[in-house]
Structure 1
Amino acid sequence: MKTSVSLGALATAGLASAALYDQIISTAYGPVQGIAAFDSAPNSDIPNWGDITVWKGIPFAADTSGQNRWRPPQKREVWNTTLVASEFGDTCPGQASFGNFGKVKRQFGGGGPGGNSSSSTSSSEDCLNLNIWTAANSTDEKLPVMIWSYPAGGSAAQPLFDGAGMAAKGVIFVNYNYRNAAFGWLAHPQLNAEMLKEVGQNVSGNWAMLDQFAVVKWVHENIAAFGGDPERITVAGQSAGSAASYHMLNSPLTKGLIKGAIIESGIRFPRDPFCSSLAENYRNMTTALAAGQTLMEYYNATTIDELRRLPMSKLDNYPSNGFGAVLDYWAMPDTYLNTMLRGPANDVPVLTGNTKDESGAQLPINITVSDYVVDLQTQYGDEFASRFLALFPASNNTEAGMSYNARYSATSRVGTWLFANAWDRSPTKSPIYTYFWDHAPPGQDQGAYHESEINYVLNNLYGTDDPWEETDYLIAQKMSGYWANFVKSHNPNTGGNYDGPGQLAQWSPSTPHSPVTMHVGDGWGNMPVATEAQIQLIQEFFSKQRAY
């Protein structure tokens, strides 16, 4: 824990308007002090930038090394001196490379006066920490809260997940680190036996999921001290982070703690074969235990305690990445199909959708007609390949590329709409809002790629050096307006968070009677999910697939 900062930095921070970085905040685990989120006005429409406070690296649980490795997150010991939360905490081991998350903008420090302009952090098992952004000037404001879970390979310190842009809209933004790979998902019979003694459940494997749930509980217990309302928590995330939000929505371990969920790329219909391989994939306990036994044999170990004595770096180099969520019927209460039909533990409003160039769709496309036909036959088999070819034709290579992308995009839209239909027919009473994002950020040739909406919905274009254009700032105003509205009112249309030109297009909740979704990005308003024939074909294909 970083427990000091220069007195000069704090004095400089006091020159701005009276924000919460002027105060010491009491949490259940000890006092903390934040810093100014900006050194100077960002190149974005954030007029109240001087009011925004950030607390970085607040631990929400104990060190996960040693005997805490492969245990539920343990309570942190209380600290007595003030934790000056001026630097991001360590990231967790098992994280992949950062990937296409945007390059750090050197003139944007995010560290306040005297702060550090770099977002680089160290990796350690003492990594269960969180960051909080708010524009509140009082601890009594009771602002709504958004808990953000990052995608695979991410870290809470990355500029793409900076929360000041949402804080500027009156939302307290929280992001956090959680365990991953073998550290976050290892199951083993010996761990099952330990959990049976510790929590009364014969389960193991979902340590990362339990970290994610622990953040929700920490925020519920402590966010009032930061000016937040613990009764207005919305969980949000993208890709693997969307799976985290999905599990928070579904799990009885978070029941009653959340009031909304934003699930970006996203909820998939449980008969979509991609459920077995993309972000929300899971394995049954038998498979997870076998993978754990394989890891133990790889290290010539016979006990979990031997594995706990391994250096972090050695375990981090385990060559297999075959770890992920485990269907344990405890943290993860049931299959996605059964949970969809019966309703989640948290009956709350949901906002979910997809981007144009993801989930199989990708740009640029360079495919021949013959390769396209082979791809259809491989994915759908002889029974369906010719029917998909008729609806997504390929008379030449150019059309083959266009149809390749259009087919995957349509499948994502239809799958999300089918899920929403089932949601409406289940015991749930809350609305579900769906969207389709198609804006390609500038300076790249991958189109509206997976993750391409994040800068816009979080209103943080200031944090990367992409060649943003005026239209990007306008789109960010609208997207973050919808998202902030949803966090405030659980309706993307109400909340007063858009002050740009014109008005936000009306976003209606999904209904089984109207196959439309909300078009966001390069257009605004209702758009068809797909043609009637495409919907019928995709639905028929799904009906013959295994349920997850």
Structure 2
Amino acid sequence: MPSTKTRHAALGLATALAATLVVGCSPRGQAQESAPEPLTVRVDSGELRGIATAKSRQFLGIPYAKPPVGALRWQLPQPPDKWDGVRDASRMGPMCPQAAPGGKPVLTEDCLVLNVTTPRAQRPDQKLPVMVWLHGGGFTRDSGNLYDTQRMADQGNVIVVTANYRLGVLGYLGLPGLAGSGNFGLADQFAAVEWADRNAAAFGGDPGNVTVFGQSAGGMSTCAMITSPKARGLIDKAIVSSGSCELNWPTGSLFPGTPEHGPYVPLAQGVTDGLSAAEKLGCAPGSALECLRGKTVEQLMPMMQPFSDHVAYGTDLLPKEPKKALRDGDFAKIPVMSGGVRDEARSFVGGAIMYNPELITEKTYPTLLSKAFGARADAVAKEYPIAKYGSAGLAWATVNSDQSWACQAQEGHRLLARHTAVFAFEFADENAPNVNQITVPGLPMGPTHASELPSLFELNGVDLLREEPQRRLGRTMVGYWTRFAHTGDPNHEGAPTWPKTTDGKQAMRLAPGDVTPIDVAASHKCSFWATAR
């Protein structure tokens, strides 16, 4: 059995590696109507001086909250301190504490910073949409610093904000009587959105047009945010990638041995897990908070991964489990784009096989199905026989891509569409960049978890789109994403028509040379899965 640390690490595998190992558009107006914008701006904490590139203005490393250190560790985010003079905003700020694959861990807690990218020039009478990006990484890794948004800002004529937020035990710890328990990372995300709303005008943005978008843990956070009462009147649109409110992974589906779970936990469980973490770190009963605040980040690092997928509900910030909020219609009724990639689970399965080739084989496949689906295992084996796929790895990955990701996302779309406009999508580039750097015989990665990110961003400043058909798809996707931020509808002149989804079946396929609506529910056997558990 792999260690707890290894099993939990698999939860954030794809997005974390996408960021660290790689280590039709909206109208912009006529050129003569635009002018370069100033590099010195005043926000509510003081003046900033940014930098200019050929495509953009960038203001980097801006504090949006006080450093969560000392007595502010495990407190809700506080407004940032004001500064005198002009603050240099030409360099990224620190990433939040996390393990670093193949390197030293990141230990700096003074990390509640964000980056703002705007078009280099804009019409003086135009207020641009603001898009706030929430990174993925299993709630334990990654950083807004690793997503270069200049292409999106320039092509789409939008302002893009990327934010860091507290991760792992520092972001999601719960303890008895501790205000904000289990929600510190989520509260940071809200604080970043509130900062963007307050300061939009300083960058030429429209505070009345703020879109939150995220992938994986960032998508799950976005889904949680729109079900929070705090979103009302603050968030105007949302884009959820690989992070449906419906997500729930059966036993072993993310990594053999992991229990059934979802991204959100009841507050009581969060508190129990927090006390357990304190005990493991040598804290005496009744002194957990004081004791943990006395620990160094390095001492806390072993408890980072156990707080993956650990956003607490039953709290002031998140009163209901997000999937219940969807069923109750208790969420912000704002336009939503939502979807994922066709073969989400291949990277997770590939990572497990690279860790131990004996975990997922023809011999273990029946046991994996039995633990995940109980009495329905035989029916699943008949529907997904190894002989049809050529390897146990590909069969198991297809089972989990369909059940755990695609069909649950489509059910979420159906529930959302009862109350608001929903535009569903599925990224399906067979030759998508292998951002996770996983190579397993018999298990092609294709459009797997996080593989759509290069179509939207340069990861760590690197453009991974090598072929013109992929570049064309990237332009189309940026056009859809940014047009949605402008209007709440991704459709625009020159791009294939994208219909709303109403029944949880249809989605827009996004593939080179093939951007068209398809029946995603049918292609992922969602009728079968509706009765398989």
Instruction: Tell me what 2:270 maps to.
Output: 288
Query: What code does the residue aligned with 2:161 have?
Result: V
Give 1:516 shift.
2.3
In structure 2, the residue matched to 1:163 is: 149
Percent of paired sites with the same residue? 29
Aligned counterpart, 1:540: 531
For residues 302-357 of structure 1, give each alpha carbon's deviation from its aligned partner in whole angstroms, at most 9, with x where no partner exists.
25233323333322344762352111332112023320112243111111112123
In structure 1, C-alpha distance between the alignment counterparts of 2:116 and 2:105, rounded to whole Å? 17
From 468, 476, 479, the equivalent of 2:477 is: 479
Seen in structure 2, the aligned counterparts of structure 1 residues 27 and 189 have a Cα distance that, compared at 3 Å, is: same
Cα distance in 1 between the residues matched to 2:300 and 2:397: 39
- Say which SS state the counterpart of residue 541 (structure 1) adopts: coil
Q: Partners in 2 of 1:399 and 1:372 — Cα distance?
A: 10
**Aligned-partner Cα distance in 2 for 1:386–1:166:** 47
Alignment of 1:525-536 (within 5 A): 525-531=516-522, 534-536=525-527
Are 2:345 and 1:359 aligned?
Answer: yes
2:494 counterpart of 1:510: no
Equivalent residue for 1:83?
Answer: 87
Q: Which residue of 2 aligns with 1:451?
A: 450
- The answer to whether 1:414 aligns with 2:414 is no
CA distance in 2, matches of 1:156, 1:270: 23
Q: 1:309 aligns with which of 265, 272, 294?
A: 294
Comparing 445-454 with 403-412, which one deviates more in the overlay?
403-412
Q: Deviations over 1:2-47 (max 9, x none)?
A: xxxxxxxxxxxxxxx9533x442111110111101x3xxxxxxxxx
CA, structure 1 residues 26+481, in 2 after alignment: closer, same or farther (shift >3 Å)? same
What secondary structure sits across from 2:192 in the alignment? helix
Distance 1:205 1:400, change over 3 A: closer
What is the match of residue 26 of structure 1? 42
Task: Describe the shift of the 1:165–1:528 C-alpha distance in structure 2 as closer, same or farther (beyond 3 A).
Answer: same
Cα pair distance change 1:172/1:408, threshold 3 Å = same
Distance 2:460 2:296 in 1: 39
Give the Cα–Cα distance (whole angstroms) in 1 for the partners of residues 523 and 278 of structure 2.
51
Once the two structures are overlaid, the 10-residue window that deviates more, 434-443 or 73-82, is: 434-443
TM-score (norm 2): 0.80
Q: Is 1:348 aligned to residue 364 of structure 2? A: no
Please name the residue that 2:206 is paired with: 229
5+ residue gaps, structure 2: 1-33, 440-444
Among candidates 149, 152, 163, match of residue 134 of structure 2: 149
Is 1:285–1:327's contact at 8 Å kept on the other side of the alignment?
yes
| Aligned-partner residue type, residue 19 of structure 1 | P
Deviations, residues 226-277 of structure 1 (Å, cap 9, x unaligned): 0110111000010011112112211112221111111100215366647997
Gap change, CA 1:532 and 1:525, over 3 Å in 2: closer
Unaligned runs of 5+ in 1: 1-16, 39-49, 100-119, 196-202, 497-502, 543-548
- Please identify the structure whose Cα radius of gyration is greater: 1
* CA deviations over 1:424-477 (Å, ceiling 9, x no partner): 33xx2x21111111213246652222111011023x379326471222211211
When structure 1 is superposed on structure 2, of 256-265 and 283-292 the one drifting more is: 283-292
**TM-superposed deviation, 1:361:** 6.7
Query: Aligned ranges for residues 109-508 of structure 1 at < 5 Å?
Result: 123-135=107-119, 137=121, 141-152=126-137, 153-158=141-146, 161-168=147-154, 169-191=156-178, 195=179, 204-269=181-246, 273=250, 281-297=263-279, 298-301=281-284, 302-318=287-303, 321-322=306-307, 324-359=310-345, 368-381=361-374, 383-395=375-387, 398=390, 402-411=394-403, 412-425=405-418, 428=419, 430-439=420-429, 440-442=431-433, 445=439, 446-458=445-457, 460=458, 463-464=461-462, 466=464, 468-494=466-492, 503-508=494-499
How many residue pairs are counted as aligned between the two chains? 467
Q: How far does residue 73 in structure 1 lie from its aligned partner after superposition?
A: 0.6
TM-score after normalising by structure 1: 0.78
Q: CA–CA distance in 2 between the matches of 1:164 and 1:155?
A: 16
Q: Distance in 2 between matches of 1:452 and 1:349?
A: 24
Matched, 1:56 2:60: yes
| In 1, Cα distance between equivalents of 2:44 and 2:293 | 29
Kindly provide the amino acid, as one letter, of the partner of residue 128 in structure 1.
Answer: L
Change (3 A) 1:533 1:438: closer
